[in-house]
């Protein structure tokens, strides 16, 4: 409705001034919209942002650190995400979209690997996650319709013995998915202090 009112007012001013709508004098348009009680600047509370990945324990990689195959879409419409939003596959191009995280493990040891996603009714019940540690592969199917059990943000993918460095890869794929696949973040928590 805001856009409709603004466009109609701009069109009326363009006709009155005999100019193209793109050439309407903005101060004049602004003044008229304010006279009509149009809200031009939001002064209410800001929309909640996601969890700050820098404040989470362990090694955390947000979706912007993922190596992407295929055309993933960015969104922040479903709250509970890490960082500024998350990626989704649009429920398209099955088997052609992957997001791979390659964390830099600071110290060898046993880690719990967690996946963050925002649940919703259109999500996949079988999002495919592959964890590859030095050539040994583990696959996990994640039901992204369910609320993640850890802080309503993360689900555990299991515990793994990880060497220091970048020999671990966590890949989320939309192969065979029965809904939207979400890529938000991964968290690797050391289990031995």
- What's the pLDDT tens digit per position in 130-151? 999 998 999 999 999 999 999 9
| Sheet containing 185-190: order of strands | 59-62, 185-190, 109-116, 154-162
Residue 45: pLDDT band (50, 70, 90) is very low
Short-list 118, 174, 182, 105, CA closest to 148: 118
Kindly tell me if the per-residue pLDDT of 121 is higher than 90: yes
Determine the Cα–Cα distance for residues 192 and 30; give it in Å rounded to an integer.
Answer: 61
Per-residue pLDDT, averaged over 35-51, amounts to 69
| 91 CB-side CA count, 13 A | 10
Do residues 133 and 162 make contact, with C-beta atoms less than 8 angstroms apart? yes
Level-2 CATH architecture, domain 53-190: Sandwich (2.60)
Kindly tell me if the per-residue pLDDT of 44 is higher than 60: no
Residue 4: pLDDT band (50, 70, 90) is confident
Do residues 158 and 138 make contact, with C-beta atoms less than 8 angstroms apart? yes
The DSSP element (H or E) to which 114 belongs, if any, is: strand 109-116
Determine the Cα–Cα distance for residues 65 and 188; give it in Å rounded to an integer.
Answer: 14
Residue 40: predicted pLDDT = 77
Q: pTM score, two decimals?
A: 0.74
Q: What is the mean pLDDT of the chain?
A: 91
Domain boundaries, the chain: 2-35, 53-190
- Helices marked H in the chain — which ranges? 2-17, 26-35
Kindly tell me if the per-residue pLDDT of 46 is higher than 50: no
């Amino acid at each position: 409705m805001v856009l409709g009112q603004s466009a109609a007012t701009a069109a009326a001013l363009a006709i009155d001034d005999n100019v193209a709508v793109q050439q309407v004098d903005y101060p004049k348009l602004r003044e008229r919209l304010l006279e009509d009680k149009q809200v031009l600047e939001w002064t209410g509370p800001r929309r909640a942002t996601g969890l700050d990945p820098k404040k989470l324990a362990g090694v955390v990689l947000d979706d912007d650190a993922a190596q992407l195959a295929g055309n993933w879409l960015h969104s922040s419409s479903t709250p509970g995400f890490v960082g500024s939003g998350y990626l989704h596959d649009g429920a398209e191009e099955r088997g052609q979209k992957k997001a791979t995280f390659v964390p830099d493990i600071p110290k060898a040891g046993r880690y719990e690997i967690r996946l963050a996603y925002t649940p919703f009714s259109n999500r996949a019940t079988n999002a495919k996650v592959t964890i590859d540690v030095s050539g040994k592969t583990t696959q996990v199917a994640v039901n992204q319709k369910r609320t993640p059990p850890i802080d309503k943000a993360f689900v555990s993918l299991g515990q793994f013995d990880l060497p220091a460095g970048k020999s671990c890869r966590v890949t989320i794929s939309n192969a065979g998915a029965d809904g939207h696949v979400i890529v938000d973040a991964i968290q690797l928590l050391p289990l031995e202090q």
